[in-house]
Amino acid sequence: MIIPVRGFLGLEDYNDNSQKVILETPKECPQCKENLWKHGSFKRTAKDLKGNKGVISIQRLICSACSLTISCLFDFLAPFKQYVIEDILQYVVIYGQEKTTYRDIAWGEQDGSNTDAEASLSRAFCAVAQVCQISGELAQQAQQACLEAGVDLMTVEQSRCPNSELAHSVEKAKRLDQLSYLINLTNRYCRDVLSKCFWYRQKIFSGYLASEKLAWLSAPQSLKQALF
Ligand SMILES: [Zn+2]
């Protein structure tokens, strides 16, 4: 089982401060409520589009009663991905709100790793496609959060995603519209950048975990061929 743990703002913060921070891990087994024990650690690599790289130490835990093992993944990392969640989000938020193309978001100025154009394009496409697969559920959760925070949902715009008319299926168009609505809801619910970023982080993290198959999606051949 993978669970998210807080501790760092992002990869840069991890690289600068990982020696100084003592990780707070859960004490109780999510399955049987018995005690969890430390159970070694493993390393995984992470990157961001600013060009930062890091080797992250992931703490493992084991339950003393049912032997469930848990990996404590920092919530700035995307499960099953090398790139951090903020970078995935960057693609998704732009595509959900502005009239653009995958090519433009992939090769925009924010992407510092333009050396591999095909990989950038594929990453942008997959980021949007994956979040679209869970955008309906995330929009529902955002609606709920808004209701609890007293936001009047009638005032949140239900506009269409400017890119949904180019979608290859009605289903994808619907999910892009849900993505656009999700972004509008989140903008109303979280007023400052940091809380917005944490909210998305948490939701996308759990969305990825709930749909493990999303991790293995690849960009369609037509998109790759369009490069040459
Ligand atoms: Zn247990």
Residue 156 in any domain: the answer is: yes
Domain boundary among 15, 49, 74: 74
Residue 80 in any domain: the answer is: no
Residues 52 and 148 in one domain: no
Residues 93 and 198 in one domain: yes
Instruction: Find out whether 114 and 103 touch, Cβ atoms under 8 Å.
Output: no
Pairing of strands 2-5, 69-74: parallel
Residue 79 in any domain: the answer is: no
Cβ neighbours, 10 Å, residue 109: 6
User: 154 C-alpha vs ligand 1 centroid, how far in Å?
Assistant: 44
DSSP 41: E
Residues 66 and 96 in one domain: no
Residues 53 and 100 in one domain: no
Question: For the ranges 123-127, 131-135, 197-201, which has the lowest average pLDDT?
Answer: 197-201
User: 110 C-alpha vs ligand 1 centroid, how far in Å?
Assistant: 43
Residues 136 and 187 in one domain: yes
User: 68 C-alpha vs ligand 1 centroid, how far in Å?
Assistant: 6
Domain boundary among 48, 74, 100: 74
User: 30 C-alpha vs ligand 1 centroid, how far in Å?
Assistant: 7
- What share of the chain in percent tops pLDDT 90? 39
Query: How far is Cα 32 from Cα 45, in angstroms, rounded to an integer?
Result: 31
Banded model confidence at residue 197, pLDDT cuts 50, 70, 90? confident
Is residue 172 over pLDDT 80? Answer: yes
What confidence tens digit (pLDDT) does each residue in 72-101 have? 999 899 888 888 988 888 899 999 999 999
Query: How far is Cα 72 from Cα 59, in angstroms, rounded to an integer?
Result: 5
What confidence tens digit (pLDDT) does each residue in 37-66 have? 999 999 999 998 888 999 999 999 999 999
Q: Write down the H helix ranges in 58-98.
A: 85-97
Residue 42's domain spans which residues? 2-74
Query: How far is Cα 128 from Cα 76, in angstroms, rounded to an integer?
Result: 18
Residues 36 and 93 in one domain: no
- Number of structural domains the chain divides into: 2
Residues 70 and 94 in one domain: no
User: 17 C-alpha vs ligand 1 centroid, how far in Å?
Assistant: 32
Task: Give CA separation, 150 vs 14, 185, 203, 216, 226, in Å.
Answer: 35, 12, 20, 38, 46
Residues 90 and 54 in one domain: no
Residue 143 in any domain: the answer is: yes
Residues 112 and 41 in one domain: no
User: 28 C-alpha vs ligand 1 centroid, how far in Å?
Assistant: 8
User: 226 C-alpha vs ligand 1 centroid, how far in Å?
Assistant: 50
User: 70 C-alpha vs ligand 1 centroid, how far in Å?
Assistant: 10
Domain boundary among 29, 46, 74: 74
Is residue 215 over pLDDT 90? Answer: no
